């Protein structure tokens, strides 16, 4: 397996067209076909189904696609590190996030470090929690935006709180429930619930909310959303009531409203995680640029 094979596969998978992929890679279509065929032979499985009318990924191809992109990304990072090795002022700074909504919190520290260090080079990894956890444990991340519960079992990790977030119910503005100032379990008993997939905000340990969501899902067609934006979209289109942490509900379309859900049931603590040992000046200044609460 080599880089050219992976590039050809990813490009064809993105375009679903061998000719367009070949043009983008400045190769001939037969060359692209040859690289993919040799890759399939090495893996022992077909990655693409193709005929004169269409190209599509096999089940194995869909699974391998993300792996191939991750391998190429790591190769690119490694090449950049080697290229910049002679320039000591260059600092690759890896930041992990689970949602594009969290990116707003990065503005103050990124501006501050960019102005102070011309060689500061941030790389934002937008991944699910479990991928970020693995990257953090492998020391591939400098900092990670997360909730306190997400990292409480990670060894050698320290957490810097940024905000306490209530749980909010997001629903259409014309819903009868929108007339209420706050919502409770009984209010949503007959509603379909939209929640974030555990890979976004995993439940740690027990708790009434987790147990209620599990029990509710046994009797309703509740939906685990792959992202906060997709959940907001589904709520707007009438597919149910979204139960999201506060920081995912701050920018809603005019057709939606948010109401506190079980406001006495506790909060999620959102913040920045980093390693206890080995924090350099970049990590320290990154943390200092956040409006951190006292732990």
Indicate if the pLDDT at residue 79 is higher than 80. yes
How far is Cα 273 from Cα 151, in angstroms, rounded to an integer? 8
**Same-domain pairing of 35 and 95:** no
Q: Is 294 a domain residue?
A: no
Q: Is 213 a domain residue?
A: yes
Residue-wise pLDDT tens digits, 102-147 = 888 899 999 999 998 888 999 999 988 888 888 998 889 999 998 8
How far is Cα 257 from Cα 95, in angstroms, rounded to an integer? 31
Query: What are the strands, taking DSSP E only, across 76-155?
Result: 91-97, 120-126, 143-147
Domain count, the chain: 3
Q: Is 295 a domain residue?
A: no
**Same-domain pairing of 239 and 100:** no
Tell me the angle at which helices 3-15 and 59-84 cross, rounded to the nearest 10 degrees. Answer: 130
**Same-domain pairing of 243 and 275:** no
Residue-wise pLDDT tens digits, 175-221 = 999 999 999 999 999 999 999 887 766 554 447 888 888 899 888 89
Q: Which domain holds residue 113?
A: 87-163+269-288
**Same-domain pairing of 205 and 189:** yes
**Same-domain pairing of 136 and 259:** no
The least confident of 81-95, 116-130, 218-232 is: 81-95
Give, in order, the Cα–Cα distances in Å from 143 to each of 22, 192, 197, 280, 287: 38, 36, 22, 12, 9
pTM value is: 0.62
């Amino acid at each position: 397996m080599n880089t050219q094979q992976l590039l050809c596969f990813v490009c064809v998978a993105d375009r679903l067209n061998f000719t367009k992929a070949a043009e983008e890679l400045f190769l001939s279509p037969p060359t692209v076909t040859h690289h993919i065929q040799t890759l399939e032979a090495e893996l022992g499985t077909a990655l693409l189904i193709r005929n004169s009318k269409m190209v599509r990924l096999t089940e194995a191809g869909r699974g391998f696609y993300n792996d191939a992109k991750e391998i190429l990304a790591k190769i690119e990072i490694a090449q950049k590190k080697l290229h910049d090795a002679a320039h000591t002022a260059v600092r690759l700074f890896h930041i992990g996030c689970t949602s594009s909504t969290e990116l707003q919190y990065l503005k103050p520290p990124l501006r501050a470090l960019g102005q102070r260090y011309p060689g500061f080079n941030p790389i934002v990894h937008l991944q699910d929690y479990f991928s970020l956890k693995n990257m953090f444990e492998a020391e591939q991340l400098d900092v990670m935006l997360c909730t306190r519960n997400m990292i409480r079992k990670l060894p050698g990790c320290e957490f810097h709180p940024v905000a306490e977030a209530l749980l909010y119910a997001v629903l259409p503005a014309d819903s009868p429930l929108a007339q209420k100032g706050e919502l409770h379990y009984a209010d949503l008993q007959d509603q379909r619930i939209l929640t974030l997939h555990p890979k976004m905000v995993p439940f740690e340990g027990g708790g009434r909310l987790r147990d209620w969501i599990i029990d509710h899902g046994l009797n309703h067609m509740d939906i685990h959303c792959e992202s906060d934006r997709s959940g907001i979209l589904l709520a707007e289109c009438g597919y149910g009531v979204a139960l999201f942490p506060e920081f995912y509900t701050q920018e809603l379309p005019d057709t939606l409203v948010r109401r506190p859900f079980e406001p006495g049931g506790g909060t999620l603590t959102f913040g920045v995680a980093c390693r206890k040992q080995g924090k350099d000046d970049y990590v320290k200044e990154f943390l200092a640029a956040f409006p951190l609460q006292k732990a």
